[in-house]
Structure 1
Amino acid sequence: MNWKKEAANDLKEYKYLQNYVENYEDLLEELDARMTRLHGGKDEQTPVSGGGGTRIEDEWLSCIVKKDRLKSQHLERWTRLQRLKGALSILPPEERLVLEYFYIDRPKNHVDRLCDRLGYEKSQVYRLKDEALKNFTIALYGIIAG
């Protein structure tokens, strides 16, 4: 296992996890609204091909399954996001900034921008990135004596 690659992937996931967690309630509301719209009508008694139930029952069950999976995923993703936030929060501001520019929210010409912002040469920025990635990994996973 390449710890640097794993840590980089963790950081690249950060923004997506944050977006998912922020939109979770909206996703649940969409499913609830869909379930509310499923009401009795002429299609209610139409059997689903091979399903043994009606179209409405089939849609209702689909919504229930999606909600259940969404809830399970939410807890896992929320917990993961909290761990990433916690690991980032204990890093010095410079290291957090470098990880953000390299992995989380990478702007165009990120290295040049970091050089300007921090007053460092490119080689210093890359050394700081490596140190920040190592410190982030230790903060996230801890040190395991081998």
Structure 2
Amino acid sequence: MNWKKEAENDLRCYMKRKASLNNLRDQILTLRLEQESIKACTADSDPVKGGGSKTEDRWIDNIVKTKRLSLAYSATRRIVALIEKGLDGITEVQKDFLTEFYIDRHDGHVERLMEKYHIETSQVYRIKDEALYYFTVTMYGIMEC
């Protein structure tokens, strides 16, 4: 495992993951509302060869989808919380560098950082690498001393 690549990927995907939490929550709510609207199984629909009725199949499909989305929501929420913990553990300057490089990257990000902090290109990359290291240590715990 390459810790640097993992941390960079986490930062690049942070905003998309955070946004997906709302979408997942809405999908789960919709499925739960559908569960309430699915009619109870009727006594006159006999299962064929041990299978369920169409209503039962719809109900089970809904339960499976809800459970899968709930698991995805929980996992995504944990990753977002870890990323936020990592970002909370570094300085504002370091956050600024990681935001410019990974979270909200636009053309000219290096030049913007150079101008904002009155530093040279090599210093921009050094500070970015240092920020990434401290972010990773804060997010995942100490990896090496």
TM-score (ref. length: structure 2): 0.81
Q: Partner of 2:63 in structure 1?
A: 64
Cα separation, partners in 2 of 1:77 and 1:31, compared to 1, 3 Å: same
Question: What is the deviation of 1:69?
Answer: 1.4
Q: Confirm or deny: 8 A CA contact 1:111 1:125 kept in the other structure.
A: yes
Q: Partner of 2:93 in structure 1?
A: 94
Task: Please state whether the residue corresponding to 1:108 is helix, strand or coil.
Answer: coil
Q: Confirm or deny: 8 A CA contact 1:39 1:56 kept in the other structure.
A: yes
Q: Partner of 1:129 in structure 2?
A: 128
Q: Which amino acid aligns with 1:32?
A: R
Superposed CA RMSD in Å reads 2.8
Deviations 1:74-128 (CA, angstroms, capped at 9, x unpaired): 2222122111101111211111011111111212322222223333222221111
Q: Point out where structure 1 has 5 or more consecutive residues left out of the alignment.
A: none
- Aligned residues, how many? 144
Distance in 2, matches of 1:74 and 1:31, equals 14
Identify the range of structure 1 (117-126 vs 59-68) with the bigger mean alpha-carbon deviation: 117-126
Residues 39-50 of structure 1: pairs in structure 2 closer than 5 A: 39=39, 45=45
Q: Partner of 1:2 in structure 2?
A: 2
Q: Which amino acid aligns with 1:19?
A: A
Task: Please state whether the residue corresponding to 2:138 is helix, strand or coil.
Answer: helix
Q: Confirm or deny: 8 A CA contact 2:137 2:143 kept in the other structure.
A: no
Distance in 2, matches of 1:67 and 1:127, equals 45
Deviations 1:33-87 (CA, angstroms, capped at 9, x unpaired): 43355448xxx95979x99223332222111101111222222221221111011
Distance in 2, matches of 1:20 and 1:138, equals 25
Distance in 2, matches of 1:4 and 1:16, equals 20
Identify the range of structure 1 (23-32 vs 94-103) with the bigger mean alpha-carbon deviation: 23-32
Q: Confirm or deny: 8 A CA contact 2:35 2:59 kept in the other structure.
A: yes
Q: Point out where structure 2 has 5 or more consecutive residues left out of the alignment.
A: none
Q: Which aligned segments of 4 or more residues in structure 1 are displaced greater than 6 angstroms?
A: none
Question: What is the deviation of 1:18?
Answer: 0.9
Q: Which amino acid aligns with 1:63?
A: N
Task: Please state whether the residue corresponding to 2:134 is helix, strand or coil.
Answer: helix
Q: Confirm or deny: 8 A CA contact 1:46 1:55 kept in the other structure.
A: no
